[in-house]
Amino acid sequence: MTTIPTPSSQMTEHTFASHDGAELFYRAWLPFYQAKQAIVIMHRGHEHSGRMLELAKALDMPDTALFAWDQRGHGQSPGPRGGAENLGVVIRDLEAFFQHIEKTYAIAREDIVLVAHSVGAVVAAAWVHDYAPRLRGLLLGTPAFQVKLYVPLAVPLLRLKEKMLPGGVVKSYVKSRVLTHDPEQQRAYNEDPAIFKEISVNILLDLFDTARRVVEDAAAIRVPTLVFSATQDWVVQTGPQRAFFERLGSADKEFHTLHGFYHAIFHEAQREVVFNRVRAFAERLFVKPPVKLAPLLDADIRGHTRSERDELAASRDCLSSRLTRFVFGTLGRLSHGIDLGWKAGFDSGRTLDYVYQNKPSGRLILGWFMDKSYLESPGWTGIRWRGQMLQKVLAEVLAQAGSRPHLVDIACGGGRYILQTLHDHPELPVTAVLRDYQQPNLDTAKATAENLDLTDRVTFVQADAFARSSLAALNPAPDVAVVSGLYELFNANAPVLESLRGLADAMPPGTRLVYTNQPWHPQLKFIAHVLTNREGQPWIMRRRTQEEMDDLVTAAGFIKERQETDPAGIFTISVARKL
């Protein structure tokens, strides 16, 4: 159970309940009076928060609360050592920790600087990328954006092993003598019983994948950021650290090269240099109010994702893309899912319904295997994750929406996730209106409602999800409005904002909006160069960063309260309250 601490100038120990109920351990150093600002410290892989005590003491910032947690599977936190269901669980733990700090200590995240080391730095950077928190600052110490694995083809072999025989761990053979030059720190590392050598295979692979997408899309991060890089780092590659820094979207960023330092910069012989720079960075940010960044309402015109989209469109007719389109459009039609995509559009409601069913089928054995591979692609796997998350979030939001909540989905497609949620929770006396502009989608949704015996609770309306006046006239006004998988299909922000404002016109204060976003996709190039949309045109998507999507929601008159992200960081589900 979460403990409520008593303010003290000494270190105290506590736990907080994370998103799944796991009680995670953390240490706190609190002023005798209410702190208005804080620093959160994250340890490296294999270690624990106790290893960061010297940093906490050296910062010597009596007006600032300090927090250091034990990541799940580390130190005094539960879980298999070095393991978790996936790295997304750990990233979400960090979101839960910040929610705990905000609620328990009344310190807003815009008044917090996050300091993270190595693997912890990757988790921290991914959290800032995926959840778009309004942090005061982010400091990454030798981030493990690319771990040095000295076995040839280690990552491909581990992927094959994980697919054929899931589970297991990889043991680190990194010695203390290549972590720090300080003999006493080497001895402390060797004698610490809470330090372990293993990391689960799935977490190691997730670390590589997460780090790659964060480095590639660092432009999405606009938080003031400092990066430390060590010239004699035997643990991680330094090139990706520089690439991350150069791509950062923040106008306030620093890159410090620590000459002669090993990887464990917070335990090196000259660590006071690092401590002083950490303190100077935090004090510089705390001495003035947080910078109010301009909302990203015009990112569709001049943002980095607009440039990315334009490049995809310009390169679509290269020889390799034409060959891939030919194979996918001929041999690929043996797969029933691919054939449906060519007929109805790969972004259509009918295609999504097929993906949700996740039952491979095709002509001949080859067609079946092609369909299985198609359904297991990262994008469609993410879609199914999104469906599961959406049903979970919807059930939770509806349970808190009053005695007889009314729900509206403004672009329901086949309506599967809404209808399945209502069917799975008969205790919720929900009425719903499912709207869509395509009659075939509504017909599919009606058939599903009949099969689930929900026709007395659900009505269906053919309508335009971007018509502000139509949305503003919703009657009865919704207690919960849902926009799932819609805005991701449209590149321009103006119609999205009009749609959101229409909902805001109809919804009373305190009601909830549930919306999705796609801040990242590993198959953007393939989709743009090969697939077609519901209108038969090339399906060239423009991603919206989470910050951009949240800015649109805020501009319409809502305030975001919570978010869930799928393990691959492709799709998000957010809940916002009408102001």
pLDDT digits (tens, 9 = 90+) for 231-260: 999 999 999 999 999 999 999 999 999 999
Average the pLDDT over 467-483 and give the result: 97
Kindly write down the DSSP assignment for every residue of 441-489, as one continuous string: HHHHHHHHHHHTT-TTTEEEEE--TT-HHHHHT-SSPPSEEEE-SSGGG
Domains of the chain: 11-286 (3.40.50.1820), 315-375 (no CATH), 380-578 (3.40.50.150)
Between CA 106 and CA 206 the distance in angstroms is: 33
pLDDT one-digit tens code per residue, 130-142: 999 999 999 999 9
Label residue 353 by pLDDT band (50, 70, 90).
confident
Q: What is the 3-state secondary structure (H, E, C) of 512-534?
A: EEEEEECCCCCCHHHHHHHCECC
Q: What is the pLDDT of residue 9?
A: 58
Q: Whole-angstrom Cα distance, residue 231 to residue 570?
A: 33
Mean residue pLDDT across the chain? 94
φ and ψ at residue 372, rounded to 5 degrees: -65, -45
DSSP states along 218-270: GGG--S-EEEEEETT-SSB-SHHHHHHHHH---SSEEEEEETT--S-GGGSTT
User: Residue 309's pLDDT is what?
Assistant: 96
Contact 375, 398 (CB under 8 A): no
Nearest-angstrom CA–CA distance, 130 and 546: 6
Examine the pLDDT at 3 and tell me if it is beyond 50: no
- For residue 152, the model assigns a pLDDT of 81
Instruction: Tell me how far apart the alpha carbons of residues 579 and 569 are, in angstroms, rounded to a whole number.
Output: 28
Does residue 2 surpass a pLDDT of 70? Answer: no
**pLDDT band at 43; cut points 50, 70, 90:** very high
Count other C-beta atoms under 10 Å from residue 246's C-beta: 12
246: tokens are 């150069």
State both tokens at 73. 């599977």
Average pLDDT over residues 284-303: 94
The pTM of the full predicted model, rounded to 2 decimals, is 0.94
Which of 173-192 are b and which e, b meaning 16 or more Cβ less than 10 Å from the residue's Cβ?
Answer: ebebeebbbbeebbebbeee
